[in-house]
Structure 1
Amino acid sequence: MEIKTLVTIDKDILGGQPVFAGTRVPVETLFDHLEAGVSLDDFLEDFPTVSKSQAIAVLETANKFLTSKNIEQLYATVA
């Protein structure tokens, strides 16, 4: 799945904050919940507009990006 099919960035939706495509749920909310120890199933129960496949695909994409041998590119975009 391409990131553009998973995440929407639109200035008219939550001021351009990245959200799960087709929802108004910020992607950051998933990571905040997981960081707080909330299970994926509980997150999905709290945000039923996000599908399990969407959430898993976003996590897999983040994992691939952050474990890539090209992680230096992330530093260049953040700096």
Structure 2
Amino acid sequence: MGGTLVFRDTRVPAQSLLEYLDDGFFLSEFLENFPSVNRTDAVNFLKLAREHFQYENYSG
């Protein structure tokens, strides 16, 4: 997984959470299917992703 952002202490790519949500699943369903992912880490990743994309929209 060289260069792929994964959740801490797992091999689960963070992108997979975004794909789950994009497909209409809930965070709880993602966490059920990937029990090695910590809920706090998933929520923090979503916050960072939101901030990043908000910044991208304003900066051009």
Counterpart among 30, 50, 54 of residue 63 in structure 1: 50
Are 1:20 and 2:7 matched, yes or no?
Answer: yes
Are 1:33 and 2:24 matched, yes or no?
Answer: no
3-state SS of paired residue (1:23):
coil
If each structure's strand is expressed as a fraction of its own residues, which one has the higher value? 1
For 2:56 and 2:43, the matched residues in 1 are separated by 22
Number of residue pairs matched by the alignment: 60
For 1:71 and 1:23, the matched residues in 2 are separated by 33
| Greater C-alpha radius of gyration | 1
Root-mean-square deviation (CA), in Å? 1.9
Cα drift, residue 16 of structure 1: 2.5
Spell out structure 1 runs of 4+ moving beyond 2 A.
68-72
Task: Pick 1 or 2: higher relative contact order, CA cutoff 8 A, min separation 6.
Answer: 2
TM-score after normalising by structure 1: 0.67
3-state SS of paired residue (2:17):
helix
Structure 2: runs of 5 or more not aligned: none
Structure 1: runs of 5 or more not aligned: 1-13
TM-score after normalising by structure 2: 0.86
